[in-house]
Structure 1
Amino acid sequence: MGRTRRLDVHGRTSVITGAASGMGAEIARELDRRGARLVLIDRDAAGLSALAAELSGTGHSAHILDLTDDAAVAALGAAITASHPHVQSLITCAGSSMLGDITQLTMAEMRWLMDVNLWGTVSITQALLPALRREPAAHITHLVSIYGLAAPAGRIPYAMSKFAVRGFTESLRHELERSTVTVGAVYPAGVKTGIILHGRFAAAIEPAVAQRAAAAQARMYHTEPQDAAYRIVEATVRRRARTFVGREARLVDVLTRLAPTRYWSAMRRPLREATDTTTPIV
């Protein structure tokens, strides 16, 4: 039922979470250039306002929303459905990171990240699915991460949340296989968005130590956000089930397939500084 049909985004509505900055903003710019109508969602009111003023298209709307508030998400989903006919795609970019090892993290910190990265993704998807199903062809794109393929030390809550988003995406794709809605996962690696520099870290870590680890991770990023946004929008338009972004993404995919219990031995050294949240700065 329309599963191979390429999307024509011109004049149709695309919903983007995490739209105020980073990948969400770049994806919004790419879709705006293609003539899409955009629903921009984020907690950052100033960022949303600045982006909305920059875009040249018409029919866009911006909404300040905390995706961890289930009732607010449901209400916004109903409002979007009422005001934006032809919701054709949903791209979930909202998320955060969390540095710290298991001895440094609290349960509250880990639950917070799971609420943002996983349950926020599930909630907005559930809220907009009825509208998407009314279209002759629609697609849902969830941004996962290479840390939804490989789980490094020092990133337990982030890896947990991204493996969970991957599982949700794949299960949902199977549930909707006889519908007009397709579902895809994008696995970005090394995109220079600054998420790691602006992410959270366990309160038990010295801020300077956390910044050192975040900066080490950021130095490993090579893909320009504009290039990544083009790939992600193309994956949405072509309704792809699985997309890798960044030169490390396919390498990690192959590595975890070839050595599912030993891949960390190859990743440990390159990530040594980025996962060190315990060595004091002297």
Structure 2
Amino acid sequence: MQQLAGRVAVVTGAGSGIGRVTAERLAARGCHLALVDVSPGGVETTADAVRRLGVSASTHLADVSDAERVGELPDEVLAAHGAVHVLVNNAGVTSAGAFAEERLEDVRWMVGVNLWGVVHGCHAFLPTLLAQDEAHIVNVSSMTGLLGLPHNAAYALTKGAVRSFTEGLRGELVTTGVGVSAIFPGTHRTGITSGARGAEGERIRRLGSSRLSALVPPPSRVAKAIVKAIERDRARMVVGPDARVLDLAARVAPGRTGLVGRATSRLATKH
């Protein structure tokens, strides 16, 4: 996109983590915000923060796995702002543990938010985006979308699908004014672990709230990458040293996750 000042961006999962700092970074560029989240407290906090930067912000409570609810959002955003130029599909949840121990209801939960949330957002907003002079879609995947990691198989299922979907959608829209980008963050301090499910969910939640979490980088560099992808129409952005290592591994030795699997299996048996 040539400019962000005066444009309108929709950000899902805007109540915390990557969504919040992305909204703040877009606001600093002069972008007005439509903030979407399931948490009323979190999304209002984000709205207050971006309004202090001199832009307008509307809040929309929605579970992105609910197609009917997401389908209502374009009209709500147009009523509040008059246009939509940017869509950031960021909302996400996680699970950890061996796939054999996963509950299917938890897998469906992840697929609903991580994958269907992206599909619902793109399908609902695309007609409006195509009507603009220029627009952009950002879908947040993960480093596990580059290379599926053992003990994260169900999570990798969703994020790998987001990668492929985004690549296909970019190809479809290449002759339009709508750009499409995929973002592949490594490990960042986002708060996603607080709701982790799965056999290792409790351990991941404890790690996320421990003092060790302070050593994990904040989500600000992911937000920086998202804005850069929008402004420069980047097809993909890999963020963080761990994500770059996995990206390289996927290219050099695709499908060879056995060593990682042995290591994570030993770790899991110790807890």
Q: Name the TM-score, length of structure 2 as normaliser.
A: 0.90
Counterpart secondary structure, 1:29: helix
Structure 1 residue corresponding to 2:15, chosen from 8, 13, 20: 20
Q: Distance in 2 between matches of 1:245 and 1:206?
A: 24
Residue 210 to residue 247, structure 1, CA distance change in 2 (3 Å): closer
Q: CA RMSD in A?
A: 2.4
**Which structure's residues are more often helix, by fraction?**
2
Identify the residue that residue 199 of structure 1 maps to in structure 2: 195
Where does 1:92-241 land on structure 2 (aligned, <5 Å)? 92-196=89-193, 198-202=194-198, 207=202, 209-211=203-205, 222-241=216-235
Contact 1:12 1:36 in 2 (8 A): yes
Q: 2:246 aligns with which of 247, 252, 268?
A: 252
Consecutive unaligned residues in structure 2, runs of 5 or more:
none
Q: 1:261 maps to which residue?
A: 255
Structure 1: which amino acid aligns with 2:16?
Answer: S
2:264 is matched with: 272
Residue matched to 2:26:
31
SS of equivalent to 1:103: helix
Paired AA for residue 251 in structure 2: R
Q: Which moved more, 1:162-171 or 1:221-230?
A: 221-230
What is the rounded CA distance, in whole Å, between the counterparts of 2:201 and 2:144 in structure 1? 24
Give the direction of change, closer, same or farther, for the CA distance of 1:181–1:239 in structure 2 (3 Å limit).
Answer: same
Q: What's 1:41 paired with?
A: 36
Distance change >3 Å, CA 277–CA 139, structure 1 → 2:
same
Cα pair 2:207 2:213 within 8 Å, conserved: no
Residue identity matched to 2:91:
A
CA contact (8 A) 1:99 1:277 kept: no
Q: Determine which of 36, 42, 45 is the counterpart of 1:50.
A: 45
The yes-or-no answer on 1:7 pairing with 2:8 is no
Asked if 1 retains the 8 angstrom alpha-carbon contact of 2:196 and 2:205, the reply is: no
Secondary structure of 1:201's counterpart equals: coil
> Following the alignment from structure 2 to structure 1, what is the Cα–Cα distance between the partners of residues 91 and 200?
24
Equivalent position amino acid for 2:245 in 1? L
Indicate if the aligned counterparts of 2:170 and 2:179 stay in contact, CA closer than 8 A: yes
CA contact (8 A) 1:78 1:127 kept: no
* CA separation of 1:225 and 1:214: change in aligned 2, threshold 3 A: closer
Secondary structure of 2:100's match?
coil
Judge conservation of contact 1:7–1:138 (CA < 8 Å) in 2.
no
- Measured after TM superposition, the shift of residue 210 of structure 1 is 4.8
Report how far residue 206 of structure 1 moved: 8.2
Count residues with an aligned counterpart.
268
Cα displacement (A) at 1:26: 0.4
Cα deviation digits, residues 31-81 of structure 1 (max 9, x gap): 111111000000000011112122222321011111111111111122223
Q: State, as a whole percentage, how many aligned pairs show the same letter.
A: 35
Q: Contact between 2:188 and 2:218, CA under 8 Å: does it hold in 1?
A: yes
